[in-house]
A and B are shown apart, each in its own frame.
Chain A
Amino acid sequence: MMLGDFILSSKKEQKKEQIMQGALSLFAIKGFYNTTIPDIAAALKMSVGNMYNYFKSKDFLAKEIIKYISAYLGNKIKKINEQDISTEQKTKKIIELYFETALSKPEMIDYFLRIYLSNREIFLDGCEGMICVNEFVTEIMIYFEEGVKCGDLRDQDFFSAFGLFMGYLGGMVFLKGENILPKELNEYTDDISYNIYKALSA
């Protein structure tokens, strides 16, 4: 790739990211179905025609956004996985990360819980199984696998552990979103880390 092409393509990627962030904000306010491509274009001060240069449909944008969120979280968990710390410490750091993201980028976790998991029909074609959340799931798998290998975690079926871990965190963020939680999410980190580690440990 020539330098000029590289700059162009990285500029295009930056613009795509900007559009995804803009779309996420709008989805969080107006809801996924009530938000149209012209709405997103208007919010970003772009022409509708130009928007279609980046994302050819709302469904396509929806799939790219879930991949973007998965890669964002996956990269952060990868950094935790690569640290030379105990599984108990990793557990806490992953939970901290998840809650921090829910706090600083609520639209991301909201999208994952309320749009990706609740509107599977949009994601049937192109996001089969866990393809679009692969980077995130892979890092959770590595966290589990290494935990079992070093004797900290109990060996069990992946999904029974995954369900316990993600179901718990998702449930807490959902409760927060519904304004039911009396305290801030991060105030639950210690207890939840203790509970999850205790439930999964060998």
Chain B
Amino acid sequence: MHDKKLKILWLTAISCNGNAHSFLNHPNLEYFMDKFEFVYHPIIDSLYTLEDVIKKDLECDILIVDGAISPEFKKAGESIINILDKYAHKAKKIVTVGTCATFGGIFSQSGYAYTTGLHFDKENPTFLFKSLKDKTISISGCPIQPEILVDTLYAIKNELKIKLDKYLRPKEFFAYTVHNGCTRNEYFEYKVDNHIFGKKEGCMFYDHGCQAPYTNGSCNKILWNEVNSKTRAGVPCMGCTSPDFPKEGFFKTKKNMGIPQNLPIGVAKRAYLTLAGVTKAFKIKRLEEDLF
């Protein structure tokens, strides 16, 4: 099995194709294509057409679901539910790519009735494809990080045991928070919140809506395009891997009487406020100054 190319069917449901494009940014795509082949992919030359996918009964090892699903949504005249049903049972593994395919994402606000992810409607489990849960791996993100998808596909090919979180996401990538590895961590630790958009100094958690301390993901561990991340560049993490993405007010921290409504995962309010009170009492000159 290891030497044989694994057949992937990339099925696009209610999607903007952002994940398909993000996938193309993988730095070693040509090596990837030595080991895998696309039975169908919406933007890469593949063995079959969408019409073939619907009319024929093609072989596939891995079914990739990209985009939210709804019983009302049709693909080339066929219900997405029926297409999924046909290939999901046939595939050895199913991978949901993106927050829409995993939790419903932004398309849960679309006009289609009952728009959800494959197994979750935001954080709540759905039942339609419950029997397929055991073979599903979720990769949330808007869009996904290409390295996470490719590494997961290699792990499937190599029959590695992949530990998953409660949303079926590989812990290897989602056990961390986006805060982990952020170059602004010192500003967070010492509560230096004087961030100005576009500047390298200051933490965005206090005023500018950064959701990194309570968002699971690897954006600051696996850098985008091997170069950068939102928070490193000076844009707040928008929590795009979370079940409730997208929330409102990306650039403003929701506060109640000056206290952030959402605190770092697992940190009790009293613990946070006590720590914040202590660190805020000290002025650390180095962190108040411009870096350059």
Interface string of B243-278 (1 = CB under 8 A from A): 000000000000111110100000001100110011
Leading 10 A-B pairs by shortest Cβ distance = A129-B281, A158-B258, A148-B256, A144-B257, A128-B281, A145-B259, A138-B273, A134-B277, A145-B256, A131-B281
**Once bound together, how far apart are the Cα atoms of A143 and B277, in whole Å?**
16
Given the complex, which residues of B lie within 8 Å of A130, measured CB to CB?
277, 281
Can you list 29 A-B pairs, Cβ within 8 angstroms, ordered by A?
A: A129-B280, A129-B281, A130-B277, A130-B281, A134-B274, A134-B277, A134-B278, A138-B277, A141-B259, A141-B273, A142-B269, A142-B270, A142-B273, A144-B257, A145-B259, A145-B269, A147-B257, A148-B256, A149-B256, A149-B261, A153-B257, A155-B255, A155-B256, A155-B257, A156-B257, A157-B257, A157-B258, A158-B257, A159-B258
Across the interface, which residues of A come within 8 angstroms of B273, CB to CB? 138, 141-142
Within 8 A of B (CB), among A137-168: 137-138, 141-142, 144-149, 153, 155-159, 161
Q: What number of A residues sit within 8 Å (CB to CB) of B?
A: 23
Expressed in whole angstroms, the Cα–Cα distance for A148 and B274 within the complex equals: 20
Shortest Cβ gap from B256 to chain A (Å) = 4
- Inter-chain CA distance A156–B280, complex, in Å, is 19
The distance in angstroms between the C-alpha atoms of A147 and B258, with both chains bound, is 12
CB within 8 A of B257: which of A128, A129, A141? A141
**Secondary structure dominating the interface of A:** helix
B282 contacts partner chain A, Cβ-Cβ < 8 Å: yes
Least CB distance, A128 to chain B, in whole angstroms: 4
- Chain B: residues with CB nearer than 8 A to chain A? 255-259, 261, 269-270, 273-274, 277-278, 280-282
Q: Given A138-B277, A141-B273, A142-B269, A129 and B282 touching (CB < 8 A)?
A: yes
Of the residues B257, B280, B281, contact of A148 by C-beta under 8 Å: B257
Tell me the bound Cα distance from A196 to B281 in angstroms: 28
> Which residues in B have their C-beta under 8 angstroms from that of A159?
258
A18-49 at interface with B (beta carbon < 8 Å): none
Residue in B256, B257, B278 with the greatest tally of chain A CB atoms within 10 Å: B257
Interface string of A116-128 (1 = CB under 8 A from B): 0000000000001
B282/A128 in contact, CB under 8 A: yes
CA distance A157 to B282 in the complex (A): 21
Across the two chains, which residue of chain A brings its CB closest to B283?
Answer: A128
Q: Is the CB of A144 within 8 A of B256?
A: yes
B277 contacts across to A, CB distance below 8 A: 129-131, 134, 137-138
Q: CA separation between A148 and B269, bound complex, in Å? A: 15
Residues of A within 8 A of B258 (CB): 141, 157-159
B270 proximity list for chain A (CB < 8 A): 138, 142
With A and B bound together, what is the CA distance between A141 and B257 in angstroms? 8
Chain B contacts of A134 at CB under 8 A?
A: 274, 277-278
Kindly state the separation between the CA atoms of A159 and B261 in the bound complex, as whole angstroms.
17
Once bound together, how far apart are the Cα atoms of A131 and B191, in whole Å? 14
